[in-house]
Amino acid sequence: MGQYLKAVMLDFEEFKNISLKGSKMASEKESVTVHKHEYLVDGRKANFCIENYLGGTYYLAPDEILYTKDQYYIQESKNSTRKGLPDLTDIQDGLFKLILYSNIDSINLNNQSINFVSKLKLTGKGIKDKITLPCQLENLEKFLVLNSDNLKEREQEIIRKLLVEVQTNKKLEIEIGAN
């Protein structure tokens, strides 16, 4: 057994404190880092702490926090500079984080409960107009026809599946537009 594992087993509380400190520092670092192809023009980066009922503490840094009309948006943004949609793995990564955020029971800001929605913003090269999911299927189909030159059939199918996702998860929105 390695020395590190032995140390963890001897003093689990100390290990938990060290790993939480590392998680918090990573979250704080991410909240001030802007990546080259990150189009973050809507809101500000932030970090926050999630606590579960078992006492677990997690520090997270979504791409942006936006505020409009008494509603906060926890936003992850994914961009493609070469194609109409970001890669599927990037979309899945953003969805994973937002599904986690959308299952939060409550968020407090300065000891006040706030209303919030999780939002995935997808931007791509050559996209015409923009659409926010959930929407009516006919509106989505019009958007797909408008962008048929920029979106491959596989990308169009991904967008249709994203509509199903937001119809199932009521605290999730997806916006698709140009970069």
| Whether the predicted pLDDT of 18 surpasses 60 | no
> Residue range 54-76: average pLDDT?
84
Which of 66, 157, 61, 139 has its CA nearest to residue 100? 61
> Residue range 144-157: average pLDDT?
96
Q: What is the pLDDT of residue 27?
A: 47
173 CB neighbour count, 10 Å cutoff: 20
pTM of the model: 0.75
140 CB neighbour count, 10 Å cutoff: 19
> Residue range 42-59: average pLDDT?
71
Q: Lowest-confidence range among 26-35, 88-97, 134-143?
A: 26-35
Identify the band that residue 9 occupies on the pLDDT scale cut at 50, 70 and 90.
low
> Residue range 37-61: average pLDDT?
67
Identify the band that residue 117 occupies on the pLDDT scale cut at 50, 70 and 90.
very high
75 CB neighbour count, 10 Å cutoff: 23
Strand partners of residue 157: none
